[in-house]
A = this chain, B = another copy of it.
């Protein structure tokens, strides 16, 4: 595909930002990305912006022009994408496609979520709207319950224990401890996870990502634009893929695979002309510990049934053969829904460029992957990033 380079990235810290409006949070990420890119604001051709629940959390729909006007380019095209927790990843994919179409040379991709403005029960209700209202929401299924069903199905078929899953949470907290943008900096151990209050059996409180506020943004430019303006970004997007599966779990043939992510990965790998074996590092959608397992198998890093022990065996930890979620992941970096897919791009770009505080864990990494999922992976966006030549 056409060369697409990541000219600059920016992010707020993730956590509790009830003292700032969404537009101020996004402005911080946007300004940071634009400044680092050295691209003049007036060169930005379009904004693709992920947001999930702004109409509920801030009574603000139609956020794209609000977020675009801060860029200062008159008449800028701007689009809000809402694909639940995959909103950010799909915004990135739209940005890639805009450059590929030849209609844009410079695109800002970004995402934002404010979630702590609401009571926890309201946030849970808003999140539940990402499931099938008729067949899941109305009968009372929430996302912790849905992922518990997936964990049950997985363990029934392949074996594995809650202790296996606990190692994933421990690993991601360990990674977040040294990431200043992460929501949690406390290290936890396996016992902490196993003894945490149960949420939906077999998952407990420390198997789940937190409720977060935060924003992330990245400036993408075409290879031609970079050459003309003497920009030399360190990292390129070489593959972009998206996929879907039925929104409700009941319509799926099996619950131990996430086919939307498999489709997205195949498309992204094919475009990048890489295979799973080429990948050195990945940021994957670990909204619950079991979700990281499903992600690693959908991405082809592990055969079905084998990823559940990956963290426990030390294969995906900081010093393992395939470090996963060196940022801390959704689990410990935090999960401001609409920002997450873009944040994965931000963190992975820094890891590949060697500017991330945890980059020393992947010093020779050349190929990385982001995996962003919506709902129970009814939507997925996968991107392949490579060190630019």
Contacts and interface: CB of A to CB of B under 8 A. Distances in A.
Interface of A: 21, 23, 46, 52-53, 55-56, 58-62, 64-66, 68-69, 74-84, 90, 93-94, 97-98, 100-103, 126, 129-134, 137, 242-247, 251, 259-260, 262-264, 374-375, 378-379
Given A79-B90, A97-B97, A97-B103, A374 B62 contact: yes
A96 to B, nearest CB: 8
A337 to B, nearest CB: 10
A74 B129 contact: no
A264 B79 CA distance: 13
Tell me the dominant secondary structure on chain A's binding face: mixed
A314 B244 CA distance: 50
Contacts of A259: 74-75
Taking each of A46, A69, A93, A263, which has the highest tally of chain B beta carbons within 10 Å of its own beta carbon?
A69
A243 B45 CA distance: 10
6 contacts: A59-B129, A65-B246, A65-B378, A69-B251, A76-B244, A79-B81
B82 A62 contact: yes
A93 B56 CA distance: 27
A62 B379 contact: yes
Given A65-B379, A75-B259, 9 more contacts: A59-B137, A60-B133, A61-B129, A62-B82, A62-B129, A62-B247, A65-B378, A75-B243, A79-B83
In the A-B complex, list the 10 residue pairs whose CB atoms are closest, starting with the nearest. Answer: A75-B263, A100-B101, A62-B84, A77-B242, A65-B378, A62-B130, A101-B101, A65-B244, A61-B129, A60-B133
A154 to B, nearest CB: 21
A247 B66 contact: yes
Contacts of A264: 75
Contact of A129 (B21, B60, B75, B379): B60
A75 B244 contact: yes
Given A75-B259, A82-B61, A90-B79, A68 B130 contact: no
A263 B98 CA distance: 17
B21 A75 contact: no
